[in-house]
Structure 1
Amino acid sequence: MEQEFEEGKEVQEQPKEDKFRLVVVTGMSGGGKTQACRYMEDLGYFVVDNLPPVFIPKFVELCKHAGDHVGKVVLVVDTRSREFFDTFIHVLDDMDKEDVPYEMLFMDASDACIIRRYKETRRRHPMAPSSRISDGIAKERERLSPARAKATYIIDTSELKKVELRDKIHRIFGNSDGEQMSINVLSFGFKFGMPLDADMVFDVRFLPNPFYIESMRHKSGAVPEVAEYIAGFPVTQDFMEHLDGMMDFLVPQYVKEGKSQLVIAVGCTGGMHRSVFIAKHVFDRLKDKGLPVKLEHRDLMKNDVWEHVREEC
């Protein structure tokens, strides 16, 4: 049964997460299919855009034989298929008869909204390349009416902000346990350049530097001796206390905002001692909170002095 999203109306029941999940996305040109598919890609779906309907059964078979490599698939089918689109409903009917499980998302918007979007992008409507946009919308609505009647979900994006559309997509097509933002904690050396993909950069070159201690020069910031040296100064303790509080505040805000990946970069001069120590501290703390976090020491092996690093880190 179709579930239509309107203000104040929530999903009543979520489909059970299967090993293979097929979602067919269709709808009005300018209705938000592209944006919806981007959010589904963030959820781990393999998206195939503008697939001729006649190829759907064969493609589904290929995906099933691929096993765990292709577990969640989105097929975008719309009027861009031109004459191929006429077989769409027949293909869906055949899938229903053969009990092939699938869900269909229909993306819609008001005529006024679609016209405004086309005016903004200055693109031609696929159903009216040489006439008025309104004519194309009318033709497309008529052609899509049988598909709309078969839809599992209908989302009208006329009044939706992008973040609201994302939330709806995540609520319907996300895992039952919820999708978590992935966090990457990275240590680096400023002399090798700042990481271009960092969302937050912390410069810890003000902390005491073990490089000037001969017994620690060749050891990384992950070695207990070096870590204890760096952590033994009041300035380090004060900084870590402020840093922990900042992480406790910021990370949940990024999760709430819907960010799919967060890169936290910590830099010192060479990327061997202080940045490694602080990055590991951030990693351990986030990991203890149950967050999906990875740790990378980008420049650790670029230094001239690292003879004890590999076995210690």
Structure 2
Amino acid sequence: MDETTPARSDVLILTGMSGAGRSTAANALEDLGWYVVDNLPPQMLKPLLELSEIAASALPKVAAVVDVRGGDLFAALPAEVGELRSRRNVRIVFLDASDDVLVRRFEAVRRPHPLQGDGTIIDGIRVERERLSEIRERADIVVDTTSLNVHQLATRIFELFSDEGAARHMLTIMSFGFKYGLPTDADMVADMRFLPNPYWDPALRTFTGQDPQVRDYVLGQPGAREFVDAYAAALQPVLQGYQRENKRHSVVAIGCTGGKHRSVVVVEELAQRLAAEAGVAVRVKHRDLGRE
């Protein structure tokens, strides 16, 4: 069967040619919330299915990676799949690639093909194709990874199996105080100390950037709104690029002296502007807001 968009699966079997990208696909499924079991013997599929039924909501999406590493046990896969499909919605994803590309991938990592024995890599590939021919014919989805890099493959898995409308990137916008140190997990850092500090206004000192009087003060300063508008616009192509490159998470850190006034205001403003960005879920964090 050609590559098509599937309905939501109860149980997913991920298989295919060695070197075609099973590990990348499995990692992408995990990022999407699937419970992934790697190198599972076909005979263990039924117990896994029963466990998922018992766990119910704890294991709503289960994926099993099954391949020729199981040796002679792999021969049981077609029969096991037939039995499981009589009970549940079981779908098979088969990853494939051209022989020459598979050879180059094995040579790049300097590893032998698991079935080549005393022969060459291409010998192992031919044996594997023969063993997988039956399960490939039964596959619901065949993904050809010949021309895909790891990021493109992960994106394709996301397109196939993410819930409609699900965010492809989680953006955390964090306020912080420079006097407490830079956030170690920040991807980008901006400095708000070019704006006057509300701390030095006795009427504002005890409030924070979440209070309207501080917000109005900060955004009323020359350059404040211009910075927020320009920085939000600059982040848009970055977030789009992160999605194309399959980068799932990023942290934008906005700092001021104590992380209580200016940075908090700007974080809240940026979050409002970026919340509508397609494919992005925005989370706000104020790291130092409660510190003295």
Does residue 1:229 correspond to 2:220, yes or no? no
Distance 1:255 1:116 in 2: 27
Structure 2 segments unaligned to the other structure (5+ residues): none
Q: Amino acid of the residue matched to residue 16 of structure 1?
A: A
What is the 5 A alignment of 1:49-198?
49-96=38-85, 98-198=86-186
One of 248, 259, 262 as aligned partner of 1:260: 248
Distance (whole Å) between structure 2 residues aligned to residue 91 and residue 257 of structure 1 = 36
1:28 has 2:27 as partner = no
131-140 vs 272-281, greater mean Cα deviation: 131-140
Distance 2:19 2:244 in 1: 27
State the 1:249 CA deviation: 4.7
Cα gap change, 1:136 to 1:245, in 2 (>3 Å) = closer
Contact kept in structure 2, 1:187 and 1:299, CA below 8 Å: yes
Counterpart-to-counterpart distance in 2, 1:185 and 1:31: 36
CA distance in 1, matches of 2:50, 2:13: 15
Question: What is the deviation of 1:253?
Answer: 4.4
Stretch moving more, 195-204 or 264-273: 195-204
1:234 alignment partner, SS class: coil
Match of 2:6 among 4, 15, 21: 15
Shift of 1:121: 0.4
Amino acid in the other structure paired with 1:101: N
Cα distance change on mapping 1:197 and 1:129 into 2, 3 Å: farther
Do the aligned residues in 2 keep the contact of 1:53 with 1:77 (CA within 8 Å)? yes
1:234-285 deviations in whole A, cap 9, x for unaligned? 2223322323433455444444554322322111122111111111111233
Q: CA deviation at 1:101?
A: 1.0
Distance 2:133 2:203 in 1: 76
Partner of 1:272: 260
- Structure 1 unpaired stretches of 5+: 5-10, 305-313
TM-score, normalization by structure 2: 0.90
Q: Which amino acid in the other structure matches residue 92 of structure 1?
A: V
Question: How many corresponding residue pairs?
Answer: 291
User: Hey, what's the Cα distance between the residues in 2 that align with 1:246 and 1:143?
Assistant: 51
8 Å CA contact 1:187–1:267 kept in 2: the answer is yes
Q: How does 1:203-218 map to 2 (within 5 A)?
A: 203-218=191-206
C-alpha distance in structure 1 between counterparts of 2:225 and 2:159, whole Å: 41
CA contact (8 A) 2:208 2:214 kept: yes
Question: How far apart are the structure 1 equivalents of 2:166 and 2:42?
Answer: 31
Corresponding position of 1:3: 2
Partners of 2:173 and 2:283 within 8 A in 1:
yes
SS in 1 for 2:95: strand
- Name the CA shift for 1:249/1:119 in 2 (closer, same or farther; >3 Å): closer
CA contact (8 A) 2:236 2:277 kept: no
* Residue type at the aligned position of 2:174: L
1:22 positional shift: 1.4
| 2:290 alignment counterpart | 301
Q: CA deviation at 1:83?
A: 2.6
Shift of 1:131: 3.4
CA-CA distance at 1:79 after TM superposition: 0.7
Identity across the alignment (%)? 37
Secondary structure at 1:277 match in 2: helix
**Does the C-alpha gap of structure 1 residues 272 and 129 become closer, same or farther in structure 2, counting only changes over 3 Å?**
farther
Q: Report the more deviating stretch, 76-85 or 239-248.
A: 239-248
Mean alpha-carbon deviation: is it higher for 147-156 or for 285-294? Answer: 285-294
Q: Distance in 2 between matches of 1:79 and 1:86?
A: 9
The answer to whether the aligner puts 1:242 opposite 2:216 as a matched pair is: no
